[in-house]
Structure 1
Amino acid sequence: MSGPMRGALRMQQAPAEKSRDFTGSALRLVKRLIPQRGMAAAVIVLSVFGIAIGVIGPRILGHATDLLFNGVIGRQLPAGLTKEQAISAARARGDTTFADLLSGMNVVPGQGVDFGAVGRTLLLALGLYLVAALLVWMQARLLNVTVQRTMVALRSDVEAKVHRLPLSHFDTRQRGELLSRVTNDIDNIQTSVSVTISQLLTSVLTVLAVLVMMLTISPLLTLITVFTVPLSLWATRTITKRSQKMFVAQWRNTGRLNAHIEETYSGFTVVKTFGHRAGAREQFSEFNEDVFHASFGAQFFSGLVSPATTFIGNLSYVAVAVVGGLQVATGQITLGSIQAFIQYVRQFNQPLTQVAAMYNTLQSGVASAERVFDFLDEPEQSPDRDAVLPAVGHAPRVEFEHVSFAYREDTPVIADLSLVASPGSTTAIVGPTGVGKTTLVNLLMRFYDVDSGRILVDGVDTATVSRHSLRSRIGMVLQDTWLFAGTIRENIAYGRPDATDDEVIEAARAAYVDRFVHTLPDGYETRVSDDGGNISAGEKQLITIARAFLARPQLLILDEATSSVDTRTELLIQQAMGELRRDRTCFIIAHRLSTIRDADLILVMEAGRIVEQGTHAELLARRGEYWSMTQA
């Protein structure tokens, strides 16, 4: 079965998800414009005046047509007669149609075209069109500023929301999906809002203004024109009901595709190493095909709106042309008036067609807005406290009192755990993978809050103080290194941006970064990519250690900090760590037991509990779990 056939089958088997609350999301999006209400009001005022002036143009041009037509007919009539005499003479010779035509005209027998009046009328129309164009241009500029400011505020809200979300939110979602919401979806909202507001405002005002002008010319022809509006609305609603859910599927599938691309590119080496290229390509093709079919379906059905409404509008155009021609022939309306009315019919139908076509953009924008609003409505981490940890100049005492925690209610990770880390001591945590070692660190940093029990720093419950005041006392070196796109100096100074160059170099020397920096082309100004791909894993690890040196924390957490370095560098790092740990309370998570021999206290964990604790020598003498680990 071919790719398109498979995609079509999948689309039939799994109907696209429908927007949960289209109207609510659209209204919520409109409310985002409230802070810019002053500028939005100016946009409306300019639109009203611009459109009001613009719709007068056809009426003035119709008057110019009447002047020309009256002059042409008047020159053919004998001079000296009155209009009434000319009409009577036409009826007397049996030319009733010509007589009816003359009765509806403002003609002077024997008088030709008044080109001066025609010129003044055309100049007036030209001036009005120029003023209308200027007002519309100003309206477009102000609307652009209004939308841009609104999107800036929306991006700021999303960015602020990211920092208020708990770590669990990011642990359970793909980064590519999140990035798609805060980039692609917001960009789509910006485009949709700009197009929608501009066209919708202009179209509604144009329809109202044109409707008034048409009523002043002929109520009957106006009724014929308006009669087709319900048909256009019915066609639009029928088609867009089908396309709306496809736009939701389009952006959902786009987010899924972006997540796959981000994961594949960030782990490209692993993908190639394990021979998963074919599988990655196949999955990409599947996701890409889903995006194609959802997008194609959405655009196909929404694209039917414009032809349908145009066809219905042309029906009214034909009807007006026929009935209007009969009215001109019978003298009920002038030629210039029917010319102006036909222009108004075009102006009346065009906004309806634009609104119908714009609905496709509106649906796409609201689908993206719903995804962004879902993100903004995500549960946030518990409110932070105003209290701060007391400022002290010594290493803190850390206590875990009967702490229990579970990521999921039915699967406890830490169970009734208690420990005490004395000021300035080094506490090592060892045990098999998955026993809760890193979870202890997450709880100490308050990335997660404990389910029960307390964590005390110098006797203060960490749950009662602000997260910032707690984390500002802690330095952390993780197993998974992280560097941002910038220079090596900037990466080392990440925790202290105001640090001097001498302080940065001192920290780099302490962490043995200085050894390899001088081999790089630009030294400390060498730029690294956001994933540190242009330097080795061990060098990245050293830079993160230097970052911890420079931060001068009172409490230090080392999570497998030497896992990415060679044995010789590990020995150097252990010496540096000894200096870094001096006068600091330190927690070390390690699988290499050689890195924790000199720890003041070693905790052996199993299934979220401490099963042994003591010094290296004490634990070896007990010949228990720790001794078994050393033998292994």
Structure 2
Amino acid sequence: MNHVVERLSQSIREYRRDSLLAPVFVALEVVMEVLIPLILAGLIDDGITGGNMPIILKLGLVLLLFAIMSLVFGVLAGKYAASASAGFAKNLRHDIFHNIQDFSFANIDKYSTASLITRMTTDVTNVQNAYQMIIRIAIRCPLMLVFSFLMVVGINAELSLIFLILLPVLGIGMYLIITKAHPLFELVFKTYDHLNKVVRENLRGVRVVKSYVREDYETRKFRDVSTTIYGYFSSAEKLLAFFSPLMQAVIYASILLISWFGAQFIVLGNLTTGELVSLIAYAMQILMSIMMLAMVFVMITMARASAKRITEVLDEEVDLVNPASPIYEVADGSVIFDHASFSYTKDAERLALKDISLTIASGETVGILGGTGSSKSTLVQLIPRLYDATDGRVLVGGRDVREYDLAALRDAVAMVLQKNILFAGTIRDNLRWGNPNATEEEIIHACKLSQAEEFISALPETYDTHVEQGGSNISGGQKQRLCIARALLKKPKILILDDSTSAVDTKTDSLIRVAFKTELPETTKIIIAQRISSIQDADKILVMDNGRITAEGTHAELLEKDPVYREMYHSQMKGGEE
């Protein structure tokens, strides 16, 4: 837990001053509130009981002044506590998001998207609330408890024994309740991850849900997860609910005992009426402090699970880092796989790629063909170092990819992934992801090469047309062409198309290939495709199966020597004729 506190405290930064000022004003507020019952006792004994109007006016003004000062200090404490906690949460979200941006695919695979979202929202909010209570309530309550108890001892040491007897009962009960509630809160936040996943999948796949009429199924799935959270929360809250009657019992017992013994002391002349009133006021301060302290412990109990989950993300070591003296210039688009193997699980017996040896000259066009699960995408993801080879090497421009600055390497490699993603904004905004400084002419030229210019020009607002999140308001083929144009704006040395023309017709596919051949002769082009027609003009075609390259050659060579390729070709040609 010490490491968790130390790690999270690094996110306080510029709000350290506010974090220190809040307890200072809390302490001043407590001093004023503790002095008020003492002044009240003097007002009753020396002023009201004796009928001394000057004393009444004097102590009345002092009482009013202390009350105003307590109010001012309380407001300032609340202001700085709110600023410190909100700023801490802002920095914490920034630190989590910043760390996630450096994650490799392997790091991201370790956490689900829903889990990362929960940690940045629900968990950060829990920690924020706990932090505000710590720098305000957790400071106020112990101070109030100690000062008030000292005042009680000063007034009547014998009556203070009442608190020494009752407070341990309250403390033991609070400890037992909280230790049993903490594991339940941990389960709650883990289930929140699953809830977010269900909601996210439903919203992203709402068209599929409706087309398959699966609304009832999705509703049941959501209800089951929501019911699980309800069960955990209600169990935890039931445990915490026991604290309230325990607290009330201690409060009423204290007041009754103080009133009973205090009355006897008054009769004996060992206590004044004003002192009894102040004792009851101090008793309320002590017991209310304990009650509020219990609330702090409940919040900390909830926040402990959240803090641990946040720290896991902050402590996650990125497995892809820049070397000590990185190379910032990629010489050319040549690619060499030197006995490269790869496993997603770092398990040598579960290799996704097995001993790949391959040489691609700069400027070549290479096609990759293979069935589902043959690791075609895994192979090309090693080139821009989205993953590192488990064994062997991958070289780009004649140098091991691990020698490059990551940003420089990825700037030289443009990759259009299987899942084409567009972001909310205009078409022009999305295209400039490839090059923020691209001119209008460069944007139009890239769109012409990707065969996107024609459909963009037909839109009422052309390049200023708004794209919904994920590109839901444009077709799959249009989305693919925009993603290709975005990649071309990088002016890469290596262009990788991972099944990125599957949604366009064969004519458009052919036009894109011709444009690449004539306009990008020096760019190495690696094309993963399901259609042989998309890659048959390539300088080299690779056939993959089960993480290995089973055949390599030109279209003509593979037709002659590889029965698998030949069968795929004739099957597709026959399907085309039909």
Of the three residues 326, 332, 344, the one matched with 1:407 is 344
Q: C-alpha distance in 1, partners of 2:519/2:108? A: 31
Aligned partners of 1:424 and 1:585 also within 8 Å: yes
The match for 1:209 among 122, 126, 147 is 147
- CA, structure 1 residues 549+580, in 2 after alignment: closer, same or farther (shift >3 Å)? farther
SS in 2 for 1:531: helix
Matched, 1:417 2:396: no
Q: Which one-letter code corresponds to 2:75 in the other structure?
A: W
Query: Which structure 2 residue ranges, 5 or more long, are not aligned?
Result: 572-578
Q: In 1, distance between residues paired with 2:163 and 2:482?
A: 74
Name which of 574, 577, 582 aligns with 2:516: 577
Cα distance in 2, alignment partners of residues 525 and 388 from structure 1: 39
Judged with a 3 Å threshold, the aligned counterparts in structure 2 of structure 1 residues 167 and 580 are, in CA distance, closer, same or farther, namely: farther
Partner of 1:65: 44
The one of 452, 460, 473 aligned to 2:399: 460
Distance 2:459 2:78 in 1: 51
Corresponding residue for 2:485? 546
**Amino acid of the structure 2 residue aligned with 1:546:** A
Distance between the aligned counterparts of 1:329 and 1:519, measured in 2?
98
Q: Which residue matches 2:30? A: 51
Letter in 2 for 1:312: V
Task: Label 1:114 to 1:302 Cα distance change in 2 as closer, same or farther (>3 A).
Answer: same
Residue 305 (structure 2) pairs with residue 367 (structure 1): yes
Report the alpha carbon displacement of residue 155 of structure 1 after superposing the two structures with TM: 1.6
- Please give the alpha-carbon distance, in whole angstroms, between the structure 2 residues aligned to 1:358 and 1:390: 52
Q: How much does 1:523 deviate?
A: 2.6
Within the candidate set 483, 495, 514, 1:556 is matched to: 495
Q: What is the DSSP-based 3-state SS (H/G/I as helix, E as strand, rest coil) of the residue aligned with 1:495?
A: coil
How much identity, in percent, do the aligned residues show?
Answer: 30
Deviation at 1:386, TM superposition (A): 4.1
CA distance in 2, matches of 1:502, 1:133: 65
Greater Rg by CA: 1
Is 1:286 aligned to residue 224 of structure 2? Answer: yes
Q: Are the structure 2 counterparts of residues 29 and 348 from structure 1 closer, same or farther at C-alpha, using a change threshold of 3 Å? A: farther
- What is the CA distance between 1:483 and its match in structure 2? 0.8
Residues 391-449 of structure 1: CA deviation (Å, up to 9, x unaligned): 36x74221111112222422222222211111211111112221221111111121111
Paired position in structure 2 for 1:270: 208
TM-score by length of 2: 0.93
State which of 179, 183, 188 in structure 2 corresponds to 1:250. 188
CA shift for structure 1 position 482: 0.5
In the TM superposition, what is the alpha-carbon distance from 1:338 to its structure 2 partner? 1.1
* Partner of residue 198, structure 2: 260
1:222 matches 2:160: yes
- Give secondary structure in 2 for the equivalent of 1:445: coil
Residue 57 of structure 1 and its aligned partner are, at CA, apart by: 0.8
Give the length in aligned residue pairs.
569
Task: Map 1:217-616; keep pairs closer than 5 Å.
Answer: 217-389=155-327, 391=329, 395-408=332-345, 409=347, 410-579=349-518, 581-616=520-555
CA distances 1:79-117 after superposition (whole Å, capped 9, x unpaired)? xxxxxxxxxxxxxxxxxxxxxxxxxxxxxxxxxx22232
Structure 2 contact 19–135 (Cα < 8 Å) conserved = no
**CA distance change for structure 1 residues 27 and 351 in 2, over 3 Å: closer, same or farther?**
farther
Q: CA deviation at 1:34?
A: 7.5
Q: Give the Cα separation in 1 of the matches to 2:264 and 2:10.
A: 50
In 1, the alpha carbon distance for the partners of 2:506 and 2:11 equals 57
- In the alignment, what sits opposite 1:146? 84
- In structure 2, how many angstroms separate the alpha carbons of the residues matched to 1:30 and 1:406? 36
Is residue 193 from structure 1 mapped to residue 172 from structure 2 by the alignment? no
- Does the residue aligned with 1:441 lie in a helix, a strand or coil? helix
Between 139-148 and 335-344, report the one with greater CA deviation: 139-148
**Distance apart, 1:479 and its partner CA:** 2.2
Cα distance between partner residues in 2 of 1:411 and 1:587 = 26
Structure 1 segments unaligned to the other structure (5+ residues): 1-20, 72-112
8 Å Cα contact 2:11-2:95 kept in structure 1: no
Contact 1:235 1:309 survives alignment (8 Å): no
Report if aligned partners of 1:236, 1:309 keep a CA contact under 8 Å in 2: no
**1:312 to 1:300, Cα distance in 2 relative to 1, 3 A:** same
Return the alpha-carbon distance in structure 2 between the equivalents of residues 258 and 266 of structure 1.
Answer: 12
Contact 2:401/2:409 (<8 A) preserved: yes
How far off is 1:351 after superposition? 0.6
Letter of the aligned partner of 1:567 in structure 2?
A: T
Deviation at 1:36, TM superposition (A): 4.7
CA distance in 1 between partners of 2:55 and 2:327 (Å): 86
Aligned to 2:575: none
**Secondary structure of the corresponding residue to residue 495 of structure 2:** strand
Tell me the amino acid that sits aligned with residue 39 of structure 2: I
Superposition deviation, residue 125 in structure 1: 0.6
Change (3 A) 1:580 1:294: farther
Q: In 2, are the aligned partners of 1:164 and 1:381 still within 8 Å (CA)?
A: no
2:113 is equivalent to residue 175 of structure 1: yes
Q: Note if contact 2:336-2:395 (Cα within 8 Å) is conserved in structure 1.
A: yes
The corresponding residue for 1:626 is 565
Aligned twin of 1:90: none
